[in-house]
Amino acid sequence: MRQPVNRLTNLQLELIKLFNYNLNEKQLLEVKDLLAKYFAGRATREMDKIWEEKGLTNEAMNTWLNEHRRTPSG
């Protein structure tokens, strides 16, 4: 029986090479925070791009937030 192959991503491989040592808990939290901020920033930039392309406004977003999209229960 074949075992599934679990391949690491290029990011995982690079991080393994960069951090080939144990970090203390504080350092580990700092790296996690740094990575989270990086990916959050990328997501924000992508959303801003979509927002701009679609011509969305704060008013449109507020309207959507206040819509009731409930379906009748069976």
Identify the band that residue 42 occupies on the pLDDT scale cut at 50, 70 and 90: very high
Average pLDDT, stretch 20-43? 92
**pTM of model > 0.75:** no
In contact, 31 and 23? CB cutoff 8 Å: yes
Distances (CA, A) of 50 to 43, 58, 61: 11, 14, 13
In contact, 10 and 18? CB cutoff 8 Å: no
In contact, 16 and 31? CB cutoff 8 Å: no
